[in-house]
Amino acid sequence: MTPSFADHPQMTVDEFEELAHKAPETVALEFIQGKLEVKPVPDGDHGAIIMWLLRLCMQQRPELALYPEQGLVTQEYRNGRARPDGVLAPFDHFVGQGEWAGSDGVLMTVEVTSHDPDTDRRDRREKRDGYAAAGIPVYLLIDRDEQEVVVYADPSRGKYAQRATYPYGSQVKLPDPVGITLDTDKLKDYTR
């Protein structure tokens, strides 16, 4: 078995945080499984999907907020740093926590795939596994390439025990503790 970056990281978490803090605002950095990642700049459809989801969350669960790009401490031993496209948590949950907040109390993370060659590895595998290892109850992947919504739930021993896939146009009931229903027909408008 080939050693991974998680076994031999490119840098320490402290070194990453210093680098991320000094990066220009036009660049979003993540530290996923011991490897420095540059998060792609979202396009207009990506932003529209996040706003669509944000509105649905606010309508159905006004006591919660969907925080775009909130930095989270993830993965086993707290060695990962991710910036999910959205983080669902109680309103004001991140007040006073700084740039890299703990994942305790987070109900769901959201990623919308980008049109780049790394999206398969990053969004469909590494981030999913990092969120599961952090114990985040639900991971919602809006997969623009496949035109489907994938819901991961029930994290156990660093993996999600449940996975459900729905084509765009489906009614998707997100499991507890989220409890929000998504009418995904609107996602068809954001597909190119």
What are the sequence ranges of the domains in the chain?
13-190
Instruction: Evaluate whether 86 touches 60 at the Cβ level (below 8 Å).
Output: no
| pLDDT reading at 175 higher than 90 | yes
Task: State the average pLDDT for the chain.
Answer: 83
Q: What angle do CA 159, 188, 65 make, to 5 degrees?
A: 55
Residue 10 vs residue 89, higher pLDDT: 89
User: Is the full-model pTM beyond 0.75?
Assistant: yes
**CA atoms 9, 13, 19, 20: torsion sign:** positive
Identify any residues that bridge with 138 across adjacent strands, giving them in sequence order.
108, 153
Q: How confident is the model at residue 66 (pLDDT cuts 50, 70, 90)?
A: very high
| pLDDT reading at 10 higher than 70 | no
| pLDDT reading at 34 higher than 90 | no
- What is the structure's pLDDT at 189? 94
What is the CATH code for 13-190? Answer: 3.90.1570.10
Mean pLDDT of 100-128: 82
What percent of the chain has a predicted confidence (pLDDT) above 90? Answer: 53
- What is the structure's pLDDT at 183? 97
Q: Are strands 28-32 and 71-74 parallel, antiparallel or unpaired?
A: unpaired
Q: How confident is the model at residue 77 (pLDDT cuts 50, 70, 90)?
A: very low
What percent of the chain has a predicted confidence (pLDDT) above 70? Answer: 71
Identify any residues that bridge with 85 across adjacent strands, giving them in sequence order.
none
| pLDDT reading at 105 higher than 60 | yes
Q: How confident is the model at residue 3 (pLDDT cuts 50, 70, 90)?
A: very low
| pLDDT reading at 89 higher than 90 | yes
Residue 159 vs residue 41, higher pLDDT: 159
